[in-house]
Amino acid sequence: MPRPGSILSRRDFVRLAGAGSLLLPHLPLAGRQTMAKIERIETFPARIPTIGRFKFFEGPAGTPLGRPTVMIKVTADNGTVGWGESVPIPKWSYETLETSVIVIDKYLAPALIGRDPLDFEGAHAAMEAAIAPGLTVGMPITKAGLDIALHDLAGRLTGKSFAEMWGKPRGGPLTLSWTLNPKTLDETEGLIEQGRQRGFRNFNIKVAPDPKVDVELTQIVKRLVPDGFLWADANGGYDPATALEAAPKLAEAGADVLESPIRPNRISGYQALKKQGALPILMDEGVISPTDLEEFIRLGMLDGVAEKPARCGGLVSCRRQIEMLLDAGLMWLGSGLTDPDISLAATLALFGAYGLRKPAALNGPQFLTESVLKEPPRPKDGTLEAPTGPGLGIEVDEDKVRDLSRRTGQL
């Protein structure tokens, strides 16, 4: 068995990681300084109001629905509190606000009550036993919120930030990318200017299913922002033949990477795109556990991954995936699911500690209009600092949590 706090070798990984499992590295928590137990887990569903257009938060006829979130309060028997956040998006994943609340309240919380809050491996094993994996981890977005809350609680119990728990520097500040999701190409220049006015110099664009429109969009952005990092994300919206046609044209137009060009189960399509080599091919949807990533690397399907803790069950899984990509000499970029501020703080801490250099597509501050923090994070010149202090390094205002849930969280 690897020593606590060590990085598993490839051989250890293959030996220890079962199908769909999360491979959970131990945290160097200075001798496990607490005997506290998890006493209570509470959920606060809400819908955060949004500004601007983002296709994942639109209802019929483009009506805004708000950003679903389940804020999670975990209380230890000594009164210490940790906060987490699950961020389901029905148009992106099968997980919804309603199912996340039910799964936490009726299945995952009972499995965690009474457990040692520093035992991350045991917590994930208990959650996997309560909601079993299918092809991969079951309800990973929902489980990610509990994972974040347990990390926050562990940090507050031990007096350590996430970076300190992981034995890494805080890192940062992190450069952000501005998301462009225009309804028509005529809107593009104005949306770019909105980002520029807030200090952003790098942009990510939503593409697919029409390569002709996507190439024109890429050309417009590259003409107006010639020196910025330009990240094209199809969210699985092309079919394999169209993706092979589009990739060289997007590269010629100025895109730097192509994320999720096709659905993750189109294995031969990803292999063909990687072999084509027109653009670095990143995966996102479908890479849930380290086991998934191990298989996709072995099959030659990708040049890297757009990592997001909210997608893959939380911080322990995302940490290991980043380490695997670094070991394999592959690319990793930082992304999110339009994370509200609790989930965003965890993501910033992770990306800072692992030294992310490329602009991160963390667009919560771009699209969300309310915060439950006493001091919300505000980008400065297109950057955000990684948080400091124990745990998440943020101060959640519980009155704001309860008010937002009361006003918007009807299930």
Residue 63: the pLDDT is 63
Q: What band does 28 get if pLDDT is binned at 50, 70 and 90?
A: very low
Please indicate, yes or no, whether the overall pTM of this predicted structure exceeds 0.85: yes
**Phi–psi pair at 237, nearest 5 degrees:** -85, -10
Q: Tell the residue number behind the tokens 């007096």, with chain if given.
A: 159
- Does 173 sit behind a cis peptide bond, omega within 30 degrees of 0 on the bond before it? yes
How far is the C-alpha of 88 from the C-alpha of 245, rounded, in Å? 32
Query: Scanning the structure block, which residue is given the tokens 């945290």?
Result: 27
- And the tokens for 377? 């994070």
Tokens matching residue 370: 């309310």
Question: What are the residue ranges of helices labelled H in 166-282?
Answer: 188-197, 211-224, 240-253, 267-276
Which residues pair with residue 176 across a beta bridge? 360
For residue 238, give both structure tokens: 């092309």
Which CATH number, 3.20.20.120, 3.90.550.10, 3.40.50.2000, 3.30.420.40, labels domain 174-396?
A: 3.20.20.120
For residue range 289-307, what is the model confidence (pLDDT) as tens digits?
Answer: 999 999 999 999 999 999 9
What pLDDT is attached to residue 43?
98
The full set of domain ranges for the chain reads 16-162, 174-396
Amino acid of residue 70: V
Mean pLDDT of the chain: 91
Query: How many angstroms separate the CA atoms of 361 and 168, rounded?
Result: 23
The per-residue pLDDT for 27 is: 46
The hierarchical CATH code for the domain 16-162 is 3.30.390.10
Low-confidence winner among 19-33, 87-101, 129-143, 161-175 (lowest mean pLDDT) = 19-33
What's the pLDDT band for 8 if we cut at 50, 70, 90? very low
What 211-219 contacts at long range (C-beta under 8 Å, 24+ apart), as own/partner pairs, is 211/238, 211/242, 211/245, 211/246, 211/249, 211/250, 213/185, 214/246, 214/250, 215/246, 215/249, 215/250, 215/253, 216/185, 217/180, 217/182, 217/185, 217/188, 218/250, 218/253, 218/254, 218/255, 219/253, 219/254
pLDDT tier at 16, thresholds 50, 70, 90: very low
Question: 331 pLDDT exceeds 60?
Answer: yes
| 260, 377, 56, 359 alpha-carbon torsion, rounded to 10° | -20
Segment 129-158 shows an average pLDDT of: 96
Torsion of CA 54, 60, 61, 65, to 10 degrees: -40
The whole-number pLDDT of residue 33 equals: 54
Q: Is the pLDDT of residue 328 over 90?
A: yes
Please give the Cα distance from 88 to 327 (Å, whole number).
30
Peptide bond just before 169 cis, omega within 30 deg: no
φ/ψ (deg, to 5) at 35: -110, 20
Question: Helix or strand or coil: residue 81?
Answer: strand
Give CA–CA dist 96/314, Å, rounded: 17
Helix (H) or strand (E) holding 43: strand 38-48
Q: In the sheet where 281-283 sits, what is the strand order?
A: 178-180, 203-206, 230-233, 257-259, 281-283, 304-307, 331-334
Q: Tell me, what amino acid is at 262?
A: I
The phi and psi torsions of 233 (rounded to 5 degrees) equal -125, 115
Average the pLDDT over 94-118 and give the result: 97
pLDDT at site 23:
42
Alpha helices (H) in 254-339, listed in sequence order: 267-276, 290-298, 315-327
User: Which tens digits make up the pLDDT trace of 363-391?
Assistant: 999 999 999 999 998 999 999 999 999 99
In 329-402, the DSSP E strands lie at: 331-334, 383-384
If we measure between CA atoms, which residue out of 43, 158, 85, 134 comes closest to residue 411?
43
Query: Helix and strand tally (H, E) in the chain?
Result: 15, 12
**Which of the four pLDDT bands, split at 50, 70 and 90, describes residue 34?**
low
Percent of the chain with pLDDT over 90: 84
Q: Is 381 exposed, middle or buried (0-12, 13-18, 19+ CB in 10 A)?
A: exposed
Residue partners of 285: CB distance under 8 A and separation at least 6: 92, 93, 235, 236, 260, 263, 264, 311
pLDDT range class, residue 4, cuts 50, 70, 90: very low
